[in-house]
Amino acid sequence: MSDATSSPIGVFDSGIGGLTVVAEIMRQLPDERIVYFGDTARLPYGPKSNETVTQFAIQDAEFLLEHGVKTIVVACNTASSVAMDALVSRYEIPVIGVIEPGALAAVSSTLSGKIGVIGTEGTISSGAYRKAISKLDRDIEVLETSCPLFVPLAEEGWTDREVTLVIAHEYLTSLRDAAVDVVVLACTHYPILKQTIAKVFGPSVRLIDSAEETAKEVADRLGGLGLARKGGARPEHKFFVSDVPHRFREQAERFLGAPLPEVSVVTVDETTCSGG
Ligand code: DGL
């Protein structure tokens, strides 16, 4: 057993949404320690340019490395869509994004060969899911839609309001009418709105939660590399944000399913990003 097994898993997101991935890692890998960074000062990443999101993602990863993490989980679909190549080529430790696991689950679930993908503008315009799905099966048709208002609705906790259902219909009806049988929730916030989204698509459409699939991938990668922590003292987790920790704490329970003990504020910018 190498020492690295007891090192924490680093997870970052533009803000709160990555806690849906943390919740799944905690459920599937209860012995692992987690260091989480939510870049609340600079969110949202969804509407920003690829260059800006890549720069932020590198800075977020550098911050986690300062905490001695054994792997980095990019728990943000937008950052995973545009910054994975930059991150993977930069670091020796495994960097795990949310796209491949979600794409794989979608491809294994579809019977009709028509998959819907919903996410932020950045994720959808990158075509990252389309590319990942085509790599697995060229014959699958991928239909993509961005749903920018879902992020603020999830953050407000408006999960089952009438207005949320009206907006969901507005965004998703054309996808439903196109007869997709699988839809990837390609944004960290969308699992919070899963019930409302399911109302639009009905019971015959399977919704893929990339948080769940990503945690499975983390378990596989750590297990395969002999880096999994097994047993020992109850793991302690650390949570950091770049701004407004009280808002993060207020929202955390909804995303994590449990209250957060403590959240620290840190500055993460070019000064923490060695090598630019
Ligand atoms: N975390 C982002 C994602 O999964 C959603 C929030 C944002 O736009 O920053 O794409």
Q: What is the pLDDT of residues 12-39, one digit of tens each?
A: 999 999 999 999 999 999 999 999 999 9
Judge if 50 and 121 occupy the same domain: no
Average pLDDT of every residue of the chain: 93
Judge if 159 and 126 occupy the same domain: yes
Residue nearest to atom 2 of ligand 1 (CA): 76
The total number of structural domains that make up the chain: 2
Judge if 86 and 116 occupy the same domain: no
Q: Which of 77, 208, 255 to mutate to test the pocket of ligand 1 (most atoms within 8 A of CB)?
A: 77
Judge if 76 and 20 occupy the same domain: yes
CA of residue 46 to ligand 1 center, whole Å: 5
Judge if 200 and 223 occupy the same domain: no
Residue 198's CATH number: 3.40.50.1860
Judge if 203 and 125 occupy the same domain: yes
Atom of ligand 1 nearest to the CA of 120: 10
Is 187 catalytic? The answer is: yes
Instruction: Look at residue 270 in the predicted model and tell me its pLDDT.
Output: 58
User: Which helix (H) or strand (E) is 152 found in, with range?
Assistant: helix 150-156
Residue 2 confidence (pLDDT) above 80: no
Q: What percent of the chain has pLDDT over 70?
A: 97
Residue 273 confidence (pLDDT) above 50: no
Judge if 29 and 158 occupy the same domain: no
Q: What is the pLDDT of residues 36-53, one digit of tens each?
A: 999 999 999 999 999 999
In this prediction, residue 89 has a pLDDT band, given cuts at 50, 70 and 90, of very high
Judge if 104 and 207 occupy the same domain: yes
CB 240 within 8 A of CB 35: yes
Residues framing ligand 1 (Cβ under 6 A): 13-15, 17, 43-46, 76-78, 119-120, 123, 151, 187-189
Judge if 163 and 113 occupy the same domain: yes
What is the mean pLDDT of the segment spanning 104-123?
97
Is 273 catalytic? The answer is: no
Q: What is the pLDDT of residues 232-258, one digit of tens each?
A: 888 999 999 999 999 999 889 888 888
CA of residue 40 to ligand 1 center, whole Å: 11
Judge if 87 and 103 occupy the same domain: no
Judge if 118 and 207 occupy the same domain: yes
The number of residues making up the chain comes to 276
Range of the domain at 203: 99-211
Helix axes 99-109, 128-136, angle to 10 degrees: 50
CA pair distance 252, 188, nearest whole angstrom:
13
